Amino acid sequence: MRLRVVAVDDSPPVLRQLIYLLGIEFDVVGSAEDGQMALDVIQNTRPDVVVLDLEMPLRNGIEVTRELRKLGPSPVVVICSVETDPEIIEAALQAGALGYVSKMLLTHDLVRAVKLAARGESFVSSS
């Protein structure tokens, strides 16, 4: 059975890229362009993994990750960002994300990060 994944990014071209890359190996069951919409889509689709942009309108990826943890059993989270500051990466992981993928390495790291996160293993792109 293929993993069910939701993709979230406020940039339509990046969101299309995420959906394409994820769709090769997983079932993309929903997408959203902001943090609030993401929470609604996640609650309606119950994915195994959520791939979240870090910087989005309404709620950022860290806020969405924290909110998901409050809701009880929730999907695992992989954050995608151009941000490489170690403190921000650490904040995302502390919030509950299991993966952190550099947008510069999406085609190389995204599928691997999702697979590892689904198994409960962490992954951080090397920058």
- How confident is the model over 47-70, as pLDDT tens digits? 999 999 999 888 899 999 999 888
Give the pLDDT score at 98: 95
Say yes or no to pLDDT of 1 above 90: no
- Pair of tokens at residue 8: 């979230």
pLDDT, tens digit, for every residue of 7-52? Answer: 999 999 999 999 999 999 999 999 999 999 999 999 999 999 999 9
pLDDT at 104 > cutoff 80: yes
Residue 64 CA to residue 110 CA, distance in Å, equals 19
What is the SS3 assignment for 55-105? CCCCCCHHHHHHHHHHCCCCCEEEEEECCCCHHHHHHHHHHCCCEEEEHHH
pLDDT for the residue 15: 96
How confident is the model at residue 106, as a pLDDT? 93
DSSP helix/strand/coil, 54? coil
Q: Would you say domain 4-124 falls under CATH 3.40.50.2300?
A: yes
Give the pLDDT of residue 127. 63
Averaged pLDDT, 64-91: 90
